[in-house]
Structures are given as C-alpha cells and as structure tokens.
Amino acid sequence: MNPEEQKKETDQPYGYNGEILHVNLSEGTWEVEKPNEVFYRTYVGGSSLASYYLTKEVKPETDALAEGNMLIFACSVLTGAAISGFNRFTVAAKSPLSGGYGEAEAGGFWGPELKFSGFDAIIIKGKSPKPVYLWIHQGEVEIRDAEALWGQDNWDTKELIREELGDKRIRVASIGPAGENLVRFANVQHELTHFNGRSGMGAVMGAKNLKAVAVRGKNKMKMANPERLKEISKWHNKRIKSHPSNINLTKFGSTAHVAVLNHHGIFPTRNFREGVFEGADKIGAETYHKTIFHSKGSCYACSVKCKREVEYKTDKYVIDLRHGGPEYETLGTLGSLLGIDDLPAIAKGNQICGLTGMDTIGAGGVIAFAMECFENGILTEEDTDGHDFSFGNADAMIWILEEMAERKGLGKILSEGVKRAAEIIGKGSEKYANHIKGSELPAHDGRGKTGMAMGYALSATGADHVECPHDTAFAGNIESLNPVGLLEPVDPLKTDSVKVRYFSISQKVWSLNNCFGICNYCSVPIHAMNFDNLVDTVNAITGWNTSLFELMHIAERSQVIARVFNNRNGFKPKDDRVIRRWHEGLPEGNHKDKPIDEQDFRKAIDLYYEVSGWNKEGKPTRGKLIELNLDWLIEASNL
C-alpha cells in the first residue's frame, strides 16, 4: 500500500503524539501532519522515519548544502518512556560529507522534551533568508529571529535562548560557529554533552540559517500498559546493576575501551598505521578517573550514567565542568589517532569541538590525515602557519581545531572533510585520506573484527561504529543473539559465509535500536535489555501486538530505504569498501601481519547482496521491496 494512502487522522495513540511538524523556512510557515497507526507501525521513528521522508522528497540532484535538502529531527514511538535508554533521537539529511544518506543519533533530554511538547518529529525544508531558531512548546510553534545568536558558541546560544524565553528548563539543540561556517563535519548538540555527531548534520542546519531548535513540553506520553512498563523498568534497572558490561559503563563510561582495544592491538594509532598506542595508559580509564574526572552524567530516565563530566585547571588548560568530558571515540580520534597522550589536551580539544560544534571523529580523522601529509612532506610549515604538525603535537591539534571551526588557512581546506581535503591538496595525499563513503573513521580497527568492517563498508552513512555489530563481543558467549538464530560464536578475523550470515542478521539488531531510539548501552544484544522484554516493552508502550519478527522487518526496511537513497545518488558496489590500510598488516600487536584479504572481503560483500535480496549492482530487488511493504520505492529504484 502506498504510504500516502495510509496517512489518515487517528485518535490519540499510546506512546506517541501522532503529529509530525513540517516547517518551511523559505516561506516562514509550518503545518502538522497526522499519520495513522499503520504509518507509525511501518516507520516507527528514528532512522526509519527519517529515511522514508528523505528518500521520498529529496531529489537526487540536490546538493546537500542547498535549499532543497531536508533536515529531519525524529523521535520514535518509544522515545520518552521512563525506562533506561529509551531517550535517543535521529537527525538526518543528505550528507555534505558523502552526498548520500546521512544521519546521527544522540541521547540526553532533547528527544523526550520534543515528544512532551506535542510532536514526534520535525521535517524542515527550505532556507530562511536570515538566521532563525524554532521555538516549540505545548503544540505551539514559532520561527524566531536569531541574528543576535549567530556567531555565538553552543553554550551561550542555549543560555541566551533560555533567558529570552524565560524558562531554564528549555532544551536546546543548536549549532556553533562550525555549523554556521558550513564545516562539513559540523554536528548538532544539546547541553554540550550530547551530540548528533556524524554525517555533517550541523552544516545542513547552518546552510538553512537555522541556529537552534528549542523545545519545552509538560505532557508525559500516555502508555498502553503503564503497570507492565513499570515492571519491566524495575527489572531493567536491577539487571543494569548486575550486568557486567553495564557495571563497567557505570563505573568508567566508555573510557574503559581504551585499554581493551589497545590490549587486543586494534586501538587506531597514527592514522591507522598501528593498532597499539604506547601512550594508552596515559589516556585510559584509570588515569582519566584519577586526574580530570569530576562526576557522572546521564540521559533522561537512565540508570547507567555512562557520561563523564570533567574539570581541570592548569596555567595551560582550563577544562570547564559544563562541557561534559571526552568519551572513548574522542580519546581515540583526538588521542591515539594523532599520537597524542596528553589527556588534558584531549579534554581541551573535546571542549573546543563542543563549543564550536564539530564532530570529534571527523575532526580527528582529518587532522590525522594532515599530520601524515606533514610527515611525508606533502604539507610543510608554510602550510601550517609555522606549526610543527608532527604526530604527538597537542598544541598543533588545539590550534587547527579552532582554525577549522573558523575555516581559516589550512583549517579551511581540512574543514571540507578528509575526502575533499585530499582532492584539494593532491600530491599523492589521497593514500593517507582514510574514509568510507566520505565519512572519517571512528576509533575501531576492522583488521581485528571483520564483521564491523562489513558494517562500515555497507552502512548507508559510511564508517559508523553504532550502525553495526562488533564481532569481538560474540567470539565467546553468543547466547544473547540466540533468539535471532545465531547459535555459535564467530571468529572476529574470518571473512567467510558464516561471517556474512552473522553480520546480515546482527546488523538488523543494531538498526532496530536506531529506528526505535534506544541506546546501545542499555539494550540488546550486549547490554541489560533482552529480546523478550524489548518486545514486551514495545507492546506495553504502544498497545501493539508486535513480535521480534516484526521488529526485525522494521529494521531491515529502514536499511533498504537508505540503500535506495544512495543508489539514486550514484553510489555503486565499489563504494562498499574499507580503507586501503585494512588490507595491509599491522606492524605489531595481536593482529600483526593479519590484514583483511581484499578478495575474500569483496566476495563477502557480494554474498551479502545475495543474502539480502539485492542484485549484483547492490540494489534491492523488486521482490525484496514488496516483501518489506515498500512498493512505492520500485519506481525510484528503476526496477
């Protein structure tokens, strides 16, 4: 059935509002769409709802930074339920980094607040002729002047909006100067501790002259079975306190990953040349919690409390408690990836990125590229304004972060992202430009987990560590994945038919969390929530009689829509690849001289197409689209 035929007004549902806000910034107008339950049950929210609207309405020829791109803030039918981890939302658009599908998730408090204000999602079109911000409260919408906010950092933006509107409990998602200046890896943030970091969503927001989206709501969501939901929440919180992985997250946050990945020889170091960092102890969990750690932070209704808040002061650095603290990815991308073991400097870099609104993964990836270019004489001190841009130079990292945010000098080139920066610099620099589909790599090395490498290669957004399974977690006990038919442990180093089956199934589990706005640190399959109670939770919130079968189809549907978006935008099988370095051996560590075999990897990708119901060109077949109730995509897919 065509989705347009499904959309009809419906009675007030359980768990969600049944209202989607459409804003046209070019015209300064807005309207409310009221899809029916069938639509919500098909597209649920998050990445699923976002991919639907983007694929349906954004024309392939549209430039990501042009007026015709669309920016989507999408909660799910579950967002805002009082249960740990059910607080995430998606920001999506055509990506200015890849030219393909882009999305980024974040937790915190903004998503639930949008739901409480009366809307499940915001679809933003056009471009305002001058800077504006959206003010959404109790079902009311205002497009307000933001010229006085333009140029302000993210902290001052939040404070000024709260002061103007007279409410300190307003939640503000905003961009900093980097987003205004169209840095291609600019992000969207709120509270300076929660970030929709990947795919350059902040640049899209800046291109629309949209400084912020402020939300405030007082209406909690109505639940279908509140008593059953309370029972599950109580069970979940109790299990979080006893589940080993969640205990470690509460104690150390994600900082514990530094020691684990370094021990296994897959801690990306010096632009992925190495997998063991000699300075890992200086930036890992023990040092972190003895030096800069101040307190734990959290997200709405979550008992894990994995967020770190830091404070530190010397003559050289002042690290402000308001700005949260670096998590694992930042410790890797602003630390080991650059050969930097100065923890206060990394925290300072994290603070700069938070205030100016840059993704630390993107920023670290492009700086690592520039450092290797400097090491090989492609860039010189003439290019770096006299700075020694060698690996390990923390001062150079701090300097170039600020230059990138302002698009000045070398920073202007690097602000284009590593793919475009290499094209501008030339001189053979392309071989040091590590990216997948234009996206810089998070701090994980696929040479030690080939299933994750497949995830990077096949994700519509490119390299994204939260879009795919990490097979090292299932090299031993795989009991948590038994309900989806995976019964035996996987070998993290193999790239064979067994790995393809493991990946094709478990990838849907990760996608499920992004569709429903659930944090991976709370949910299936690694952490406290299990499949049975997840299905019960969806039913208790929505009143649906759903099943794991239906949930997995929702996840696959989201992946297929995003795939078709990329197909339409010119992506080919050659784009489903990993970086050249992963086909080379590491010089030391547990995975020394154990590269990913390039031919085996290509065969695995081709087999994944076949398993997934895609043709040899990587396009979902007509039969697959019909199976997933995506008939409306057949014409768009040229099938």
| Structural domains for the chain | 3-216 (3.60.9.10), 253-427 (1.10.569.10), 446-633 (1.10.599.10)
First to last CA, the chain: 17
Mean pLDDT, rounded, for 162-177: 98
* Cα 591 from Cα 7, distance rounded (Å): 53
Asked which of 178-182, 319-323, 422-426 is least confident by mean pLDDT, the reply is: 319-323
Burial of 564 from C-beta contacts in 10 A (0-12 / 13-18 / 19+): buried
Question: Which structure tokens are listed for 21?
Answer: 């806000």
CA distance 581 to 562: 27
Inform me whether the pLDDT recorded for 588 exceeds 70.
yes
- Which residues does 260 contact at the CB level (< 8 Å), separation at least 6? none
Task: List phi, psi (to 5°) of 124.
Answer: -110, 125
Q: Mind listing the pLDDT tens digit for each residue in 60-88?
A: 999 999 999 999 999 999 999 999 999 99
The answer to whether residue 279 scores a pLDDT higher than 80 is: yes
| Sign of the torsion formed by the C-alpha atoms of 623, 627, 633 and 637 | negative
Instruction: For the chain, give the mean pLDDT.
Output: 96
Nearest to 68 by CA among 33, 93, 101, 104: 93
Integer Cα distance of 190 and 214 in angstroms: 10
- Percent residues over pLDDT 70 in the chain: 98
Q: Label the pairing between strands 171-174 and 89-94.
A: unpaired
Interacting residues of 139 by C-beta distance below 8 A, sequence separation 6+: 19, 117, 118, 119
Q: Residue 11: its pLDDT value, please?
A: 66
The number of helices, as runs of H, and strands, as runs of E, in the chain is 24, 18
pLDDT tens profile 343-388: 999 999 999 999 999 999 999 999 999 999 999 999 999 999 999 9
Q: Give me the pLDDT at residue 1, please.
A: 41
Beta partners for 186? 358
3-class secondary-structure state, position 216: strand
Which pLDDT does position 9 carry in this prediction?
A: 43
